Amino acid sequence: MLAALVATSLGPIRAVGQAVESPPASGTLRQAAKGRFLIGAAVSARGLADPRVADLVAAQYDVLTAENEFKPASLQRQPGRFEFATADRFVEFTRAHGMKLVGHTLCWHSQSPPWIFRGPDGKPLAREEGLKNLKAHIDAVAGHFRGKVVGWDVVNEAISDAKDEYLRKTPGLRSIGDDYIARAFEFAHAADPDAELYYNDYSNENPVKREKTIRLVRDLKAKGVRIDAVGMQCHLILSDSNAIDRLDESIAAYAAEGVKVAITELDVDVLPRRGRGADIGALEKDGANPYKDGLPPEVAEAQARFYARLFQVVLKRPGVVNRVTFWGTQDGTSWLNNFPVPRRTNYPLLWDRALKPKPAFAAVMDVLGRP
């Protein structure tokens, strides 16, 4: 994700507080999912420090993703100096509330210190030095959290958006070569052999990127590298009428490759968008902000219908989708208020800015509650 890094000096994350009354268990997402798949949210340390958010997260979800606190730039700003205190609080929170935890992410071209793959002159490190740095980071991080996370987003967003290019020209690729992805998976498996291993990306519900993702899965398997699931971020857009059909087709395609599917960063953007995906900020210099004074009921209902269709697809193939994680908890703190256009008022999640459930929440609960 492109959210800004959260400072690590926030103080202890509070446990579930008394500021609001938690919803009854019978009315929560984690109960409605009934163990068919994990359902979760991505939350920042700052978010969990708010007792209202902590209450909501603990009541509604059974798996948690830290928005930024497990990313390389948060854990190892300087070579060999690891800062685990804030990330450890997510472990404490999930253990206290009977939740699972996902590690996001071990290898990414963004929100990572440049020295891992580049020298002081900005040029790529020699292959063996880049591999040494990658292994040292994964060994330390996955080793520290061994047995504490259910799975790792091992490599994030490594596939190119360019039509005729397979892999993104990341610092890791420039230093090590195309096999840096396979090596990252090998290092992660060795450091935390019981954790699930995921490849995570955006727009991989779209045909071109889907085929590249399938190629990556096949490449990894051909090398004897273990990969358990493809993570589909699913930053979807309400006006994209074919998005759910593409998602359905892609889940089936990934399942045919023998991997599970995790929907890892779900939200539904209700605002006008000129482009697609999660990496188009440079294309969006300005944009309309039509809902500054509130989300119109008809738009809220359209969003609810969209979410309902999406969860019908999730349930369509039992055992294939093993997790659905929303990227955020409530509309006011969503990254989409500042992406791809800054300072807009967006409404992409199931709870509004007052932490009241929206029609989308009722729609998801209805789908999950059907026989």
Which residues form the catalytic set? Answer: 157, 265
293: left (phi over 0), alpha (psi -120 to 50) or beta: alpha
Q: Which two tokens stand for residue 359?
A: 């029609």
Tokens encoding 112: 């990572």
Gap between the Cα atoms of 57 and 332, Å rounded: 15
Q: Could you tell me which of 221, 204, 263, 245 has the C-alpha nearest to residue 63?
A: 263
State the chain's maximal CA–CA distance in angstroms. Answer: 61
Q: Which residue has the tokens 């291993």?
A: 197
Q: Is the peptide bond before 296 cis (omega within 30 degrees of 0)?
A: no
Compute the distance between CA of residue 324 and CA of residue 229 in angstroms, rounded to an integer. Answer: 12
Alpha-carbon distance of 56 to 43, in angstroms, equals 11
* 246 and 216 Cβ atoms separated by less than 8 Å: no
- What sign does the CA torsion over 334, 280, 70, 145 have? positive
Question: What helix, strand, coil percent values describe the chain, rounded to 5?
Answer: 40, 15, 45
Contacts of 287 (CB under 8 A, 6+ apart): 271, 272, 273, 274, 340, 341, 344
Taking a C-beta distance cutoff of 8 angstroms, is the pair 198, 150 a contact? no
Using only C-alpha atoms, what is the Rg of the chain? 20
- Compute the residue count for the chain: 371
For residues 323 and 235, give the distance between their C-alpha atoms in angstroms, rounded to a whole number: 15
Q: Using N-to-C axis directions, what is the helix angle for 180-191 and 127-144, rounded to 10°? A: 30
Cα–Cα–Cα angle for 6, 11, 13, rounded to 5 degrees = 85
Sole residue written with tokens 């440049």: 114
